[in-house]
Structure 1
Amino acid sequence: MHNLNRKIANLVAFGVVKSASATGAIVTISEIDTPELPWATTVNKNLSIWVPPKVGTQVIVIAPNGDLNSAAIIGQLPSDSHPLPSKSESEIVIAFGDGTLIKYDLSDKKFTGDFAGGATLKFPQGLEIIGDLAVSGKVTADSVSGKTDVTGGGVSLKTHTHTTKMGPTSPPQ
């Protein structure tokens, strides 16, 4: 009967990640350490997300037939040491361990990215921005062109003139 009770208790259990590697995590459940367990993630032909659990994360473990040797981590829960990145019902947030934060606010319809380091975006087929663009900081480009004009410091490349000793020059042609 004791073995049956243990198996029933192990069907679904809460535990804390003791150690983690690229292949799995050892979870402590009621002072018992599991073997290395795989964790559930999103993996299909359209989307794959790799988020290994960290040491100290509270997890949910499911064990078919109550056997921890064939168990898997099916979810990770917030805790004091691993809190939620937001408590807003209108935000979708991805928070990284280095402080990088990506957020979309459904109410404000605003996307925000706050990156701890640099970022590289690749758009092999191009990028179109519809709307105003504000840039704070330097801009480096291989070339700059405009359909109607390009201005810098309020000076038009299309219509600017220079003042010389002989008078103003004609605009560029």
Structure 2
Amino acid sequence: MAQADDDIPGLLGDLIRFGTVEAVDLAHAHATVKTGEVVSPPCHWLELAGGFRTWIPPTVGEQVILICPEGDIAGAVILRGIYSDVFPPLATDGRLSFATPDGTTIEYDPATHAMTIVLAAGSLSITAPEGVSVTGDLDVTGKITATTDVVGGGISLKNHKHGGVQAGGAQTGAPA
């Protein structure tokens, strides 16, 4: 039997529901969503989940959409990314902006071709078994520590020799 046309808004309301994240279960990748007076059962949120995967859990209070197949909230999936007064946009221009709850930010401005990464606290570790290459000038504020050797302009800091060494207060010659 066909549904009456006046039932369509109600059916759509059962399929697509707006709400806010009520709780997040990180261990099981589930969250519950409050939509009106109803709190959903634990639901998965959408992420990249194939060969390329992401892990960016939702935040309590984040505004979301529940997609409920056949109107059944028990099988709902959480669609994220609705800005709100609680979580407004990070930028209002063409920049790519990424922020974490602790204040760490990554920004890229395609107009100026500039990327800025600000780590709010802690340290940054890069592991590259075949090495790291930097093209361009490098300015460092702080100490540089090397566990083996530093080579600049083909000259080893650890193994270079100086010629023209004289006893007393004289200066050595340039590295050999």
Using the size of structure 1 for normalisation, the TM-score is 0.82
C-alpha distance in 2 between matches for 1:124 and 1:95: 28
Aligned to 1:76: 81
Structure 1 counterpart of 2:129, which letter? P
Aligned to 1:136: 141
Please give the residue correspondences for 1:106-145 in structure 2 after superposition, counting only pairs within 5 Å.
Answer: 106-116=110-120, 117-142=122-147, 143-145=149-151
Q: Does 1:18 align with 2:22?
A: yes
1:88–1:169 distance in 2 versus 1, CA, 3 Å: closer
Aligned to 2:90: 85
Q: Does 1:41 align with 2:47?
A: yes
Aligned residues: 166
Q: Deviations 1:58-107 (Å, cap 9, x if unpaired)?
A: 00111111110111102231212122222222x11111110100111111
Q: Does 1:99 align with 2:103?
A: yes
C-alpha distance in 2 between matches for 1:69 and 1:166: 84
Q: Runs of 5+ in structure 1 lacking a partner?
A: 152-156
Kept after mapping to 1: 8 A contact 2:46/2:77: yes
**Aligned-partner SS, 1:61:** strand
1:161–1:78 distance in 2 versus 1, CA, 3 Å: farther
Kept after mapping to 1: 8 A contact 2:19/2:36: yes
**Aligned-partner SS, 2:152:** coil
Q: Please state how far the C-alpha of 1:34 moved relative to its aligned partner.
A: 1.0
1:93–1:158 distance in 2 versus 1, CA, 3 Å: farther
Aligned to 2:60: 55
Structure 2 counterpart of 1:20, which letter? V
Structure 2 counterpart of 1:94, which letter? F
C-alpha distance in 2 between matches for 1:57 and 1:67: 22
Kept after mapping to 1: 8 A contact 2:162/2:172: no
**Aligned-partner SS, 1:16:** strand
C-alpha distance in 2 between matches for 1:42 and 1:70: 19
Using the size of structure 2 for normalisation, the TM-score is 0.81
Q: Runs of 5+ in structure 2 lacking a partner?
A: none
C-alpha distance in 2 between matches for 1:31 and 1:71: 16
C-alpha distance in 2 between matches for 1:158 and 1:172: 6
C-alpha distance in 2 between matches for 1:56 and 1:145: 52
